[in-house]
Structure 1
Amino acid sequence: MAVLRILVALSVLLEIISATSLGVVSTEGGMVDGQNLFLGFFRYMDVFRGIPFADIPKRFEKPVRHPGWSGTLKTTQYRDKCLQLDALMTSVSGNEDCLYLNIWVPHIGSVASNLPVMVWIHGGAFMFGDAMGIHFLDNYLYSGQEIADRGNVIVVTVGYRVGSLGFLSTGDSTMPGNYGLWDQQAAIAWVHRNIRSFGGDPSNITVFGESAGGAGVSFQALTPHNKGLIRRAISQSGVSLCPWAVNRNPRKYAEEVALKVNCPTDDSMAACLKMTDPKVLTLAGTVPLTSSADDPFVNNLVLSPVIDGDFLPDEPSNLFHNAADIDYMVGANDMDGHFFASFDVPSINFPLLVTSVDEVKALLGALTKEKGTAGLENGFSTYTIDWGSNPSLETVKKTVVAIETDYMFLVPTQATLYLHASNAGTGRTYSYLFSQPNRLAAVTKPWLGADHADDLQYVFGKPFSTPLGYWPKHRDLSGYMIAYWTNFVKTGDPNSGDLRVPATWPTFTSTGHRFLEINSKMDAGYVGQKLRLRYVNFWTSVLPSLPTVYLK
């Protein structure tokens, strides 16, 4: 027994002595020194927080390379988020000096070498968010530690300009917009140029993101400016074809902001906006928080990317040839629209309140407005075909959520999958539907499936890092998702890699339309085909074929 204790002590001592780390790393801007973590036997991780990937951005201009620094930059603290409004749009926080990224590098047995790289683009309606995400104490949502450790990949999270400073556009060359997208692109390019020094493979970069970040991933894959930089992409609950992802009349909103900050709306508008205090500008870039069934919240999301003739030289649907050789995994949550439907039809969240048929019609009428009565009638018959003569309260509530989910997320996702597959060269296409029920709604809304952003906690391994908040089934699910995601990152095939998966995920083709349903109960039978075909057909074929009555 004494000999065994001595051997164990010696092994621990050897482990401590042989701690594995990159040490100080040389980047194009200078030397950086992060933090080394001991995670377990022969498992270490270097974490670099707050590395600048561009200089402090000039207002309404593209980012430029950082001039560099002397000495060694200590990168052990997260940096400020980009200047932005609070959730109630009444105050401003953050900093214009915000173009920083964070890197997690796993060392499993030996120092990292030639590892695949995952670059995370956060969501937040192009108005909110940062590279770390919400946090309690030091537990950040977007910590890359669990993915990096379990999947043996490098994880990078990036900050980018949001709100007025990131996406305000005059619709012409004086202030073309898309500054937040250019920031994302600058971060991807920095990773490509520098990640080899961190043990990464610059030829194997996957960009992944959720919601507005998922749309950002989509834009980054479609722009000609990323040719050769991105090998794979993952869009979760957001693509470039979503109705909220592109503002086709940015001048109108820019003039509204200009009037709020006492700037003219003529040819001198851009010059005046550039000289306006950044906090005042940010505070002026609000959107209404009120909505209703006949004026849904999605119509308020106007501070978004634009077709500028540069980053986006054409409509996104015409740019898929640029992503022909990028492997692409795309999916949505089965009730992604619930969060937004809660604004438009609040009664859905109260079990004893009736959600009326009139509210369903008002919502459909608003979303099909340009097609007039014919759009409403066709939509209503499509969504109520299974109602019967006396639908339950729950059925009507779920129909409202389904309408918003389909319109805002699921149908644009299916259209994106089809365009990617039909334009593909070497790029493979994978489709998923995430359906794990919302953990907080079991009592008040037992019918609620996966709400918007419910997938994030599982992708980032929260059931492992905060085990007391989850059940074993949630750890199973998180393990499945990390396996699929990191296998895909390594090989372009979510089934092939170092981690086992519970079901074989087939490719999506322009004729087969197969997808994987992801939840904690999944097994080999969780493969489907032609997801919500009746509803996809309505939004992509039936509705567009109807004569236009009102212009948008």
Structure 2
Amino acid sequence: MYFSVPHPLSSSFPLSSSSSSSAFSSSSFCAINFFRFNFPLFLLLLPIFALCQHSVRHSAASFVYSTDSDGSTNAAAAASAAADVGEEALSLDDETTAAAGRLRKTHPIELTIDSGSIRGEYLTIGANEFAVFKGIPYAAPPVGSLRFQMPEPPAKWRGVMNASQYPPMCAQRPRDRKVDPVKLYKIHVSEDCLYLNLFAPSQFTNDTYPVIVWVHGGRFQYGSSADYPQNAILNNFVSRKAIFVSINYRLGPMGFLSTGDSVLPGNLGLWDLMLSLKWVQINAHVFGGDPNNVMLVRLFHKVMLMSGTAVSPGAVRDTAINGTWQLDARLHCRSFNSSELLECFKKQLRDEILAFEPNADPDYDVFVPIVDGEDGLIPEDPETMAISRRKHPIMLGTTRDESALSMLLLNEKNVNMTDGLSVMVAEQLVDNLTQGFSGFTNHRLIREGAMHEYVWTRVDPSLKVAALNESILEMFSHFWFDSPTARLANYYSRQAVPVFLYSFDHVSENFETQRVFHGCDEMFLFQLERRFLETRKDRNWQLDKRVTELFAEMVVNFLKYDDPTPELGRFPFNWTSSTSSKLDFLSITDSPTMNVGFRWQAHVFWNKYVEHLDSVDVGNLQKIAYLDKQLGDYQLATWMLLFCSLFFFAILVGLACYCTRKETDEDEL
């Protein structure tokens, strides 16, 4: 078992159906920080992603692959990579903790958990001391005979396991510039990756600390438990007397292949998370954690969703069977049944599997969570489950300009954004969005509605040149992020469940862009923004720091008290629970304020009007239109016949009168 560090995801919207891109779920900086213990787990997990869907991660990685061809780990390379990463991560952490004191290692700490003894380390920031454990196995390595199998608990070990280095990130495809615009880490990758990291206060004699389980985003394709700076975790969460746990889980085809039967039922990545949550329940008390107060659902107790929900487009698929059999053909397995396919896959090189690109819509990932039936984790359609299942307190929201980076990436596709989008290009983007989503039935009606909403009503000579830029940005943000978030908040608030809805609106004066793009909420929560401004260290960070402190305090309060702004917090504002009629939300800036009507345009258009359009029975309309046309033709023919009859009748009457008069005249003569 060996260890090391990494970073996450991105994507842009395609200009045409042939452009390569991945869906938002989604993710994504779609931090999924929640989870139900049994079938409703997906409600939190997706991410959605979603899901967490089209998302642009603002941190990245240049990969250092160091595994044997069969997916097993090269120990020396892993240890070396881990050491390199540890030093780099520590230096980055130091940079952002100068004001509070440097992050320093002091001395080791040994504890005994369910599987055996582990050795972590005490770290200090200023006068504060923390206990940190990295790379704790929560499952047996999913390699060899366990490859593509359900996760199993780790074997117990003798002696003391070193738990002071980050684990390798789970196997995933190398990320291109769109996914990894900033290279911050050298990352080790392995299939032996089912580990978690735990950060706790230094004193843990009582089982009183609430537990935050943080599942990284990345659309179930990218990311790692080590995506987040440990100094930010310690300063923003652990210093507030909470335990923070980050988890690795299998991604992409390694975690979400499915043949649709018992041989390979799918959702292995979700089953990994389930096992990690059991680990938390069993071992939380060892670190002073309260197993009855975990920011998760069902077996756990709370939900937090950032820029992604289970009902986001593409977060959950009905099946992954087609993609799995396409991969079988790509690997030349020529399997006749699921068992042969599985045996062939177990023998394939990891990189060959990860290199596979299925013949599917480039905007939607193929290997994601699926509806896996009554005995699975996702027994029903996400929308149905979101409406019908029992709810728990939830905190969720989006950033003000979710899709801003996707719009910027259009510049790289020869789309002139400086002079503003042309009507033709804007119409093409609307067409791609509405025609490409398989969840719609009446694509043409919805396309026309979206054209009217986001293009035709925005074309006005008095408007700015960039008016269509803004409108298309809104469309992407509304479709992928805002409307699913508003819809889920609406479902929850109808059941009188505490719903704390937010819009992250803080515009940092240290950013060249004035956009609050996808992931900004997570960037400030984990103080990631400074990593992108290394040449601008002289800037004033006070407002940014205040936003981070406010946001982190509210998250921990929500975990502890089911209320982000309890009276004892003495906040100058009160974050009240949202109602379905108003969708009340908190605008998060350095001076937060409550507002009503969260993304109201998105909510009304996509969740109400489009839902209505999609429910129209177009088949009957066409039949009625045909019958109406036939009836119209019949009515026209009837009126023409009547007219002709009257015309000829008038002629006959005239002739009769004429003849009668002529006979009278002749008699008189």
- Aligned pair partner of 1:279 in 328, 332, 350: 350
1:449-464 to structure 2, matched below 5 A, reads 449-462=515-528
**2:117 paired with 1:53:** no
Aligned equivalent of 2:157, options 61, 69, 88 = 69
What's the CA shift for 1:273?
A: 4.5
In 1: Cα distance, 2:554 partner to 2:295 partner = 13
Tell me if structure 2 keeps the 8 A contact 1:320–1:423. Answer: no
CA shift at 1:157, angstroms? 0.5
Shift of the alpha carbon at 1:21?
9.5
Distance in 2, Cα, partners of 1:502 & 1:481: 14
Matched, 1:26 2:112: yes
Equivalent residue, structure 1, for 2:607: 540
Given the alignment of the two structures, is residue 236 of structure 1 paired with residue 269 of structure 2, yes or no?
A: no
**CA 1:365–1:181 in 2, change beyond 3 Å: closer, same or farther?**
same
* C-alpha separation in 1, matches of 2:567 and 2:122: 26
* Matched residue, 2:381: 315
Match of 1:78 in 2: 166
Q: Is the 8 A contact 2:170 2:248 kept in 1?
A: yes
One-letter amino acid of the counterpart of residue 47, structure 1: V
| Map 1:196-215 → 2, pairs under 5 A | 196-207=285-296
Q: 2:585 aligns with which of 515, 523, 544?
A: 515
Cα distance per residue 1:53-81 (max 9 Å; x no partner) = 11112222221111111112221111111
Distance 2:469 2:493 in 1: 34
Distance 1:233 1:263, change over 3 A: same
CA contact (8 A) 2:323 2:358 kept: no
The equivalent residue for 1:95 is 190
Aligned-pair distance for 1:368? 2.4
> Counterpart in 2 of 1:422?
494
List runs of 5+ in structure 1 lacking aligned partners.
1-18, 135-139, 208-220, 222-226, 290-294
Q: Secondary structure of the equivalent of 1:544?
A: helix
Deviation (angstroms), 1:349: 8.4
Q: CA RMSD in A?
A: 3.2
Q: 1:382 aligns with which of 445, 453, 456?
A: 453
- The aligned residue for residue 115 of structure 1 is 209
What is the deviation of 1:438?
A: 6.6
Greater RCO, CA 8 A, separation 6+: 2
Task: State the alpha-carbon separation in 1 of the partners of residues 568 and 117 from structure 2.
Answer: 33
**What is the count of residue pairs matched by the alignment?**
489
Amino acid across the alignment from 2:401: M
- Equivalent position SS for 1:304: coil
Q: Is the aligned partner of 1:302 residue 2:366?
A: yes
The residue identity in structure 1 corresponding to 2:287 is: F
3-state SS of paired residue (2:221): coil
Structure 1 counterpart SS, 2:255: helix
**2:334 partner letter:** P
> If you compute each CA radius of gyration, which structure gives the higher value, 1 or 2?
2
Q: Which residue of 1 aligns with 2:268?
A: 179
The aligned residue for residue 126 of structure 1 is 220
Contact (CA 8 Å) 2:327, 2:353: kept in 1 or not? Answer: no
Q: How far apart, CA to CA, are the structure 1 residues paired with 2:415 and 2:522? A: 22
Is 1:461–1:479's contact at 8 Å kept on the other side of the alignment? no
User: Which runs of structure 2 are paired with 1:492-507 in the superposition (5 Å)?
Assistant: 492-496=562-566, 499-507=569-577
**1:355-414, Cα deviation, whole Å (9 max, x unpaired):** 112222222223222434432221122235466444323321121111111111111111
1:397 to 2:493 alignment? no
How many angstroms apart in 1 are the aligned matches of 2:421 and 2:215?
36
- Residues 212 and 243, structure 2, Cα contact 8 Å, conserved in 1: yes
- Counterpart-to-counterpart distance in 1, 2:330 and 2:114: 41
The residue type equivalent to 1:396 in the other structure is L
* Residue 184 of structure 1, CA deviation: 1.3
The alignment partner of 2:595 has SS state of strand
- TM-score relative to the length of structure 2: 0.67
TM-score, structure 1 normalization: 0.80
SS at match of 1:368: helix
Q: Which amino acid in the other structure matches residue 302 of structure 1? A: V
C-alpha offsets along residues 154-178 of structure 1, whole Å, 9 cap, x if unaligned?
1110100011101122233332211
Q: Determine the structure 2 residue equivalent to 1:8.
A: none
Alignment-derived partner of residue 357 in structure 1: 423
| Conserved 8 A contact 1:347-1:354 | no
Instruction: Please say if residues 108 and 121 of structure 2, whose CA atoms lie closer than 8 Å, have aligned partners that are also in contact.
Output: no
In structure 2, C-alpha distance between the alignment counterparts of 1:54 and 1:283, rounded to whole Å: 22
Aligned with 1:238: secondary structure? coil
CA deviation after TM superposition for structure 1 residue 103, in Å = 0.8
Matches within 5 A, 1:403-414: 403-414=475-486
Q: Tell me, yes or no, if structure 1 residue 270 matches structure 2 residue 270.
A: no
Summarize the Cα distance change of 1:512–1:133 in structure 2 as closer, same or farther, 3 Å threshold.
Answer: same
> What is the Cα deviation at residue 339 of structure 1?
3.3
> Residue type matched to 1:157 in 2?
S
* Inter-CA distance 255–393: structure 2 relative to 1 (3 Å threshold): farther
What does residue 251 of structure 2 align with? 162
Distance 1:265 1:529 in 2: 56
**Residue 538 of structure 1: how far off its partner (Å):** 1.6
Is structure 2 residue 133 aligned with structure 1 residue 38? Answer: no
Instruction: Return closer, same or farther for 1:163/1:548 CA change in 2, 3 Å cut-off.
Output: farther
> Gaps (5+ residues) in structure 2?
1-104, 181-186, 436-440, 620-669
SS of alignment partner, residue 362 of structure 1: helix
Q: Against the structure 1 CA distance between its residues 497 and 274, is the aligned structure 2 distance closer, same or farther, given a 3 Å change threshold? A: farther
Contact 1:333-1:450 at 8 Å conserved across structures: yes
In the alignment, is the contact (CA less than 8 A) between 1:263 and 1:272 conserved in 2? no
Deviations 1:106-128 (A, max 9, x none): 247x8664111101000112111
Residues 1:255 and 2:325 aligned together? yes
Change (3 A) 1:506 1:20: farther
Matches of 2:112 and 2:539 in 1, distance apart? 39
Verify the 8 A CA contact 2:505 2:588 in the aligned structure 1. Answer: yes
Going from structure 1 to structure 2, the CA distance change for 1:468 and 1:484 (only over 3 Å counts) comes to farther
Deviations 1:87-136, CA, capped at 9 Å, x for gaps: 1399x96111111111111247x8664111101000112111100117xx
Residues 303-329 of structure 1, C-alpha deviations (whole Å, 9 max, x = no match): 211000111011122224786352111
Partner SS for 1:452: coil
What is the CA deviation profile of residues 226-264 of structure 1, one whole-angstrom value per residue up to 9, with x for unaligned ones? x3x211110101111111211224222222222221123
> Is it true that 1:366 corresponds to 2:432 in the alignment?
yes
